[in-house]
Amino acid sequence: MNLAEYASGLVFRHSRPLADSTASYRLPIYIACTVLAVATNYLLGKDMAWDTLNYHLYAGFSAVNDRFGQDYFAAGPQSYFNPYAYVPFYALISAGLSALAISSALTVVHSVVLWLTFELGVCICPSDDCRARVTTGLCAVALAFVNPILLQQIGSTFADITTAILVLAGWLLLAGAVRTPHAVRLVFAGLLLGAASALKLTNTAHAIAGFAVLVMLPLSLRGRIRHGLGYGISLGAGFAMVAAPWSYRLEQMFGNPLFPLINSVFRSPEFTTEPLRHFRFIPATFAEALWRPFAMIDPTSMVHEELRSPDLRYAVLLALVAVLYLRWLWRRFAHPSTSSTPETTSESTRVLAALGCGLATDWVLWLNASGNSRYFLPMGCVAAVVIAGLLFRLFATRPKACGYILAAILGIQALQLRMGTDLRWNPVPWGGRWFDIAVPEKLRTVPSLYLTAGVQSNSFIDPFLARGSGLVNFSGGYALGPEGAEGARIEALIQRYAPHLRVLLLNGLPYENSEGQELLRARADLALARLGLRVDASDCATITVHGLPPLIEDAPKSSMPAGQRTGDTTYLVTCHVVPDHTERAAQIARQRAVDVVFDRLEDACPELFQPRRTHSDRLDTGWVRRYVNTDLMAMISNGGVIFVHSIRGDDAVFVGQESEWSKAPLRLACGRHDGHYFAQVLRSKEGS
C-alpha cells in the first residue's frame, strides 16, 4: 500500500462511504498523475542545479559514508544539514543508472504529491456525488500542477518536493481529523510532519501551522487542547526519531546537535554565533508583504525565487476569499433567513476552513522566515485545493461559470509557464550518466586532502576520488580562518594527510604547465597563503566534467576564464601543495588592517552586513568578506570600499575610501527596499 492510499485510508476510515465512492477511480487517476509527471520531466530535460553540485550528491554520500573524520565543510555549511533525504539520489548514482532512469525514478516518487493533492481535493468537496468529488480532486491537481516551483522540481534532486510528500500526507490526516476526530490520525500526522521537519528544517513552518488546522476540530475547547497536545507530542517524537542519529554526530563533533543552525544558542566555536536569517525573499516592509501575492504574478526573477516563476494562484485565492466574504455579508444582511447547509456540506466546509486557516498561518510564518517559494511547495498544493473548494462553493449553482473561470485561471497560468518561466535551473540534455567525469588514475588511487576554493564547493567530486580522500572548502561561500577551532581542525587534517595535499579550483581550460597557467597558480597561492601553503606547479592534473552548465563564481568577471562561463565542459584543476616558508609578517599585518575596515563597516550598518566578523578572503583584485544573510559581498579594491549583491547583479555601491575607514569609523545611511540594498556615507554636513 502506498503512502497516499494509507493516508487516505486513515482519513476516511469510520467516515461516510467516501472512500468507497472514489476507490474505483483512484488507481487510474494515480497512474495518470504519474504518467503526466514522467512525461513532463522528460520534456523539460535533466536539471543540473547549483545545489546538486554544491551539496545534494555530497549529502547522500556523507549519509552512508562516515565523512566526519576526513572532511571539513566540504560543501560549506550545507555539509552538515540532515542528509538522509538525499540518500536515494546517491544510491541511484552508485547503481550506475542512466540520468534519464534516475530522474524518472525520482519523478515517480515526486508524483505522489499529486496523488495527495487529489485526496485533499476529494476531502473538501461539498457534494456526496462521486463524480463531483473526483472532479474537485482533479481540479485541485490541475491547479497544483501549474505551480512553476513544482514543475521545476519534478525529477530533480531537491528535497523540497521529496519531503513535501510527508507534509501533504500529514495535512491529509489532519483534514481527516477535522472531519471526524480520531487520535490515531493526529499521531500519524505529527509523526509525518515531525519527520519532514527533521529532514528539512524549513518544513517546521508547515508543522507549526498544523496547530491552526486543529482549531477547527468539532470538539469542545478542552477536547481541542487535548488533541493539540497529542499532535505536538507526536510531532516532537517524529522529529527526534529522524534527527537523532545525525544530531548525535553533530553534537559529538561540534557541540551543536543542529550545527551550523541555531549556533547563537549552542555557540560552537567552529561557526559564527551571529544569528542566521536569509533575507533574500523576505519582504522589507509590511506593504511589501501585503503586495507579495500580486508581485508573484510578474514574470521576473528574484521575486519569490531566484528564477522567473510567475504564479497568479495566490492572487486568485485572495480574490475568491474577498468575493466569498462579500457574498456572506450580502446574504447575512439581505437574506437573513437563508436555510442552513446540510450536515455533509458542513463537514467538508469545516475541512476547507481548517485548510484555509492553516494555509494563512503557514503563509505568515513562511514569509517571515524565508519568503522562498521552494520552501512553500507543499502549501502551493494546499492553496490549489482551497482554490478548487472556493470555486465550487461560489458557483455551485452555475457550473458553466465555474468551468469558464477555472479554464481561464489554468489558461493564463499555462501561458505564464510557457512564456515567462524558467522551468529548469540549469537544463542539460538527456544522455549518459548523471555525472560524466574523467578523473586521472593517480587521483583515483592515491588518497589526498583536497583544499577547495570558491563559492561553488565542487563537493560532487568527492565520491569519484580515491577512497579515503578528504575535502575542505576553506575559501568560498563561508571562509574558514587559520586560527581558533577552525584552524586547529584544518591543521590536524593537513598533518594527517601530509604530504598528500592538493588544491582544487575551477578553470576554463585544462591545465598545462606553461606561463598561461600563472593566473591559476596565483589565484591558488592567494587563497592558500593564510594556511601557510603554496602550489607545487610540477604536479598538477585536470578533472574533466562534461554536461555542466556555467557555474556561479563571485570573482570579478575579468579574472574568470571565458571557458568557465560558457560551454558544457568544466575543468577542475588540482595541484599538489607544499609548505610556504616565505616571511608572512607583511601579509598578516595587511590582513589585520583589512579586517579593521570590514569590522567598522559592519558596525556602521549591521542590518546589511550580517553575520558579522566572518573571515576575509583574498582575491587577485583585493579583499572580500561575504555575508550569507543578505547575499552581499564587501570588497576592498584599489583603495576603495564597495559592496555588491552576489545574486541580483546590482551595480556596486561605493561607501568610501579604505584610508578613511582605517582612520576612524564612518557613518552610513543604509537599508533595503524591494530586495535591493543601498548605503551612503554621511559626511559632516549631512550628519549635523
Answer yes or no: do 415 and 451 share one domain. no
Q: Which of 73-77, 88-92, 115-119, 327-331 has the lowest mean pLDDT?
A: 327-331
End position of a domain, from candidates 530, 563, 582: 582
Q: Is the pLDDT confidence value at 677 over 90?
A: yes
Residue environment code for 409-441, b if the CB has 16+ CB neighbours within 10 A, otherwise e:
bbeebeebbeeebbbbbbebeeeeebbebebee
What's the mean per-residue pLDDT of the chain? 90
Mean pLDDT of 534-546: 93
Answer yes or no: do 338 and 478 share one domain. no
Whether 587 is covered by a domain: the verdict is no
Which residues on adjacent β-strands are paired with residue 536? 576
> Which one has a higher pLDDT value, 605 or 340?
605
Q: What is the pLDDT of residue 165?
A: 98
Q: What is the pLDDT of residue 510?
A: 86
Q: Is the pLDDT confidence value at 556 over 50?
A: no
Q: Is the pLDDT confidence value at 49 over 50?
A: yes
How far is the CA of 479 from the CAs of 91, 159, 261, 475, in angstroms? Answer: 31, 26, 17, 5
Whether the model pTM is above 0.75: yes
Q: What is the pLDDT of residues 491-516, one digit of tens each?
A: 999 999 999 999 999 887 888 866 56
Mean pLDDT of 40-51: 94
Q: Is the pLDDT confidence value at 6 over 80?
A: no
Question: How many Å from the N-terminal Cα to the C-terminal Cα in the chain?
Answer: 73
End position of a domain, from candidates 369, 390, 420: 420
Answer yes or no: do 407 and 465 share one domain. no
Q: Measured between alpha carbons, how far is 98 from 432 in angstroms, rounded to an integer? A: 6
Q: What is the pLDDT of residue 340?
A: 47
Of all residues in the chain, the percent with pLDDT exceeding 70 is 91
> Which one has a higher pLDDT value, 244 or 519?
244
Q: What is the pLDDT of residue 78?
A: 96
Whether 427 is covered by a domain: the verdict is no
Nearest residue to 180 via CA among 244, 257, 123:
123
Q: What is the pLDDT of residue 546?
A: 87
End position of a domain, from candidates 420, 453, 488: 420
Whether 492 is covered by a domain: the verdict is yes
Nearest residue to 127 via CA among 282, 330, 347:
347
Whether 540 is covered by a domain: the verdict is yes
Answer yes or no: do 335 and 471 share one domain. no
Q: What is the pLDDT of residue 580?
A: 93
Q: What is the pLDDT of residue 558?
A: 34
Q: What is the pLDDT of residues 347-404, one digit of tens each?
A: 899 999 999 999 999 999 999 999 999 999 999 999 999 999 999 999 988 989 999 9
Q: Which of 42-46, 287-291, 402-406, 618-622 has the lowest mean pLDDT?
A: 618-622
Three cell numbers written together for 269: 566555536
Q: Is the pLDDT confidence value at 52 over 60?
A: yes
Q: What is the pLDDT of residue 9?
A: 58
Whether 430 is covered by a domain: the verdict is no
Q: What is the DSSP letter of 56?
A: I
Q: Is the pLDDT confidence value at 523 over 50?
A: yes
| Helix H or strand E segment including 677 | strand 676-682
Answer yes or no: do 230 and 361 share one domain. yes
pLDDT category, 548, cuts 50, 70, 90? confident
Answer yes or no: do 650 and 555 share one domain. no
Q: What is the pLDDT of residue 547?
A: 80
Answer yes or no: do 273 and 318 share one domain. yes
Whether 428 is covered by a domain: the verdict is no
Count: domains in the chain:
3
Whether 613 is covered by a domain: the verdict is yes
If one counts every other C-beta atom within 10 angstroms of the C-beta of residue 562, the result is 10
Q: What is the pLDDT of residues 147-173, one digit of tens each?
A: 999 999 999 999 999 999 999 999 999
Nearest residue to 609 via CA among 624, 590, 592:
624
Whether 636 is covered by a domain: the verdict is yes
Cα atoms found within 13 Å of the Cα of residue 479, Cβ hemisphere only:
23
Q: Which of 302-316, 434-448, 528-542, 548-562 has the lowest mean pLDDT?
A: 548-562
Answer yes or no: do 600 and 574 share one domain. no
Cβ(125)–Cβ(348) below 8 Å = yes
Answer yes or no: do 453 and 315 share one domain. no
Mean pLDDT of 308-322: 96
Q: What is the pLDDT of residue 685?
A: 56
Answer yes or no: do 103 and 15 share one domain. yes
Q: What is the pLDDT of residues 184-214, one digit of tens each?
A: 999 999 999 999 999 999 999 999 999 999 9
> Which one has a higher pLDDT value, 22 or 608?
608
Q: What is the pLDDT of residue 686?
A: 47
Q: Domain span at residue 637?
A: 592-687
Q: Which of 7-16, 500-509, 593-602 has the lowest mean pLDDT?
A: 7-16
Q: Measured between alpha carbons, how far is 528 from 530 in angstroms, rounded to an integer? A: 6
Answer yes or no: do 148 and 48 share one domain. yes
pLDDT category, 344, cuts 50, 70, 90? very low
Q: Measured between alpha carbons, how far is 205 from 363 in angstroms, rounded to an integer? A: 9
Answer yes or no: do 398 and 530 share one domain. no
Region of 181 on the Ramachandran plot (φ > 0 left; ψ -120 to 50 alpha; else beta): beta
Region of 213 on the Ramachandran plot (φ > 0 left; ψ -120 to 50 alpha; else beta): alpha
Q: Is the pLDDT confidence value at 551 over 60?
A: no
Q: Measured between alpha carbons, how far is 98 from 92 in angstroms, rounded to an integer? A: 9
Q: What is the pLDDT of residue 620?
A: 79
pLDDT category, 561, cuts 50, 70, 90? very low
